[in-house]
């Protein structure tokens, strides 16, 4: 078999066409097993040297670089806005999503946008001591104790003074590792080392049904996170595969409204919990729900913080909904959102003071809540003038809105009448509307009884 011998540096190789090239010869790397031209190289031809493997990899690298050369552009994405707002508020975030949904890519892009070095720690392949610290014996442990040395990734974060710590595959971490993560997530401490304030913590997890040997999150660990469900938008994916992915943008907080935003958030959360004290702490009964968002004093404090940030940033209601439901759960979160709506309602005492001229909300549910508040105010402090004013207000509501909203408040207000109170004329204006609404409800009930559900 004839072997290939590289040309010497003294004799330049022949150029195509039989002429010699004045260019210096290219360095040919040593091949582990020399081959005959054209024999084992499908790209070679008889009489020409084989293409070096290194040069092929360079071409492959150039193609990969072109594939990875993508752009970013601003895009209205509620879940991305919620993530950036929670990171701005310095709260630990946990992204829940199926495998391959883009959680890691979103975190990488977020770190680039925030100009933060990204440190990825796969929680499932670490031991508890990797988070609680490794014991190191000193000269005299009896007097100096045994210090807990932090791992190298924690040291790098402290030296940098800032960074994005990404705890991946959290749902595949065994309970012992989850217990070791408690102090890291809440107190930002790894062994004896405290992470600097410039470090943000974001985790990712797959649902147990799709995780590799997955575990449910322990309630203490789950209650330390803002839980965001990460889903994909087909339009965003198509646009990204075409070369343009959405860009995470930090929320712009209005510095002039910061005190008002904090006061608004405190008034909302404290007002709701004052009226619904059972919501302060509700440990779910099932293991799966305990591994998600649920209300506790700690998670309500996070909800208050996020409400203040969302108010100062002026984000949409969809973003605020994702954040509060991700901290205290769907039920309590929706109650907080409903309470926030009611905070914009007019004061019932103002409505009773001038029932003929004050404005009622246009939206049906808010109008219903305003009328119910007026009736509750009359019940709390009954009086003939207040009772008459409430009927005047209900008459105005009947002439400017749906009559079915008046059935409950009108019925309740009628029960508050005392024997020496004359029936006001405004009741006559309501009688027809309430009667029609009641007849419609009865007809609907009869139709449902005759047809039955699903028929």
Model confidence pLDDT, tens digit, residues 263-311: 999 999 998 998 889 999 999 988 888 899 999 999 999 999 999 999 9
CA-closest candidate to residue 340, choices 257, 251, 267, 256: 267
Q: Kind and range of the H or E element at 95?
A: strand 93-96
242 vs 364: which has the higher pLDDT? 242
Token representation of residue 313:
């940033």
Range picked from 37-41, 102-106, 179-183, 232-236 for highest mean pLDDT? 179-183
39 vs 325: which has the higher pLDDT? 325
Q: Is the pLDDT of residue 209 over 60?
A: yes
Tens digits of residue pLDDT in 119-176: 999 988 888 888 887 777 766 666 667 777 888 899 999 999 999 999 998 888 888 8
74-134+148-247 CATH, one of 3.40.190.10, 3.40.605.10, 3.40.50.300, 3.40.640.10 = 3.40.50.300
pLDDT of residue 12: 44
d(Cα 320, Cα 311) in Å, to the nearest integer? 9
What are residue 298's phi and psi, to 5 degrees? -65, -45
Q: Is the pLDDT of residue 255 over 80?
A: yes
pLDDT of residue 431: 62
Q: Is the pLDDT of residue 97 over 50?
A: yes
Contact 76, 248 (CB under 8 A): no
Distances (CA, A) of 84 to 19, 74, 93, 202: 63, 13, 10, 11
Average pLDDT over residues 102-111: 86
d(Cα 69, Cα 87) in Å, to the nearest integer? 27
Q: Is the pLDDT of residue 25 over 90?
A: no
CA-closest candidate to residue 154, choices 130, 129, 171, 127: 130
**How many C-beta neighbours within 10 Å does residue 248 have?**
22
Tens digits of residue pLDDT in 68-91: 888 888 878 899 999 999 999 999
Of 229-243, 320-334, 428-442, the least confident? 428-442
* Contacts by residues 179-184 (CB-CB < 8 Å, ≥ 24 positions apart): 179/128, 179/218, 179/221, 180/128, 180/129, 180/130, 180/131, 180/132, 181/123, 181/131, 181/221, 182/220, 182/221, 182/224, 183/131, 183/132, 184/131
Of 14-18, 129-133, 381-385, 394-398, the least confident? 14-18
Alpha-carbon 441 to chain mean position: 41
- At 212, the pLDDT band (50, 70, 90 cuts) reads low
CA-closest candidate to residue 199, choices 153, 131, 135, 146: 153
Q: Is the pLDDT of residue 1 over 70?
A: no
Report domain extents, the chain: 74-134+148-247, 255-343, 348-451
């Amino acid at each position: 078999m004839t072997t290939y011998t590289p040309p010497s540096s003294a004799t330049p190789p022949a150029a195509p066409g039989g002429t010699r090239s004045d260019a210096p010869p290219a360095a040919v790397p040593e091949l582990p097993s020399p081959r005959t031209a054209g024999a084992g190289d499908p790209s070679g031809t008889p009489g020409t040297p084989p293409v070096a493997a290194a040069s092929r990899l360079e071409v492959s690298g150039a193609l990969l670089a072109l594939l990875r050369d993508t752009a970013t552009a601003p895009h209205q994405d509620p879940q991305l806005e919620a993530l950036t707002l929670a990171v701005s508020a310095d709260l630990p975030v946990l992204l829940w999503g199926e495998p391959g949904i883009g959680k890691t890519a979103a975190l990488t892009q977020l770190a680039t946008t925030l100009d933060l070095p990204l440190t990825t720690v796969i929680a499932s392949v670490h031991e508890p001591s990797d988070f609680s610290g490794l014991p190191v014996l000193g000269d005299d442990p009896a007097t100096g104790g045994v210090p807990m040395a932090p791992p190298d990734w924690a040291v790098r974060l402290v030296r940098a003074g800032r960074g994005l710590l990404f705890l991946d595959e959290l749902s595949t971490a065994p309970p012992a590792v989850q217990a070791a993560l408690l102090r890291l997530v809440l107190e930002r401490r790894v062994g004896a080392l405290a992470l600097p304030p410039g470090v943000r913590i974001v985790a990712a997890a797959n649902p147990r049904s799709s995780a590799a040997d997955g575990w449910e999150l322990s309630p203490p660990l789950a209650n330390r996170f803002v839980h965001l469900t990460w889903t994909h938008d087909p339009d965003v994916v198509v646009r990204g595969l075409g070369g343009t992915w959405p860009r995470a943008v930090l929320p712009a907080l209005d510095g002039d409204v910061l005190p008002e935003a904090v006061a608004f958030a405190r008034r909302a959360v404290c007002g709701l919990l004052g009226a619904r004290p059972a919501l302060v702490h509700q440990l779910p009964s099932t293991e799966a729900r305990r591994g998600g968002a649920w209300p506790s004093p700690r998670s309500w404090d996070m909800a208050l913080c996020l409400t203040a940030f969302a108010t100062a940033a002026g984000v949409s209601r969809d973003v605020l909904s994702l954040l509060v439901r991700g901290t205290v759960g769907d039920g309590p979160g929706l109650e907080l959102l409903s309470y926030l709506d009611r905070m914009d309602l007019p004061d019932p005492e103002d409505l009773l003071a001038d029932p003929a001229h004050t404005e009622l909300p246009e939206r049906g549910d808010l109008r219903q809540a305003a009328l119910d508040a007026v009736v509750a105010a009359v019940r709390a402090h009954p009086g003939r003038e207040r009772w008459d004013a409430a009927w005047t207000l209900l008459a105005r509501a009947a002439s400017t809105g749906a009559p079915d909203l008046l059935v409950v408040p009108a019925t309740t207000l009628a029960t508050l009448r005392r024997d020496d109170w004359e029936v006001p004329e405004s009741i006559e204006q309501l009688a027809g509307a309430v009667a029609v609404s009641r007849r419609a409800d009865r007809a609907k009930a009869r139709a449902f009884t005759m047809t039955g559900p699903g028929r």
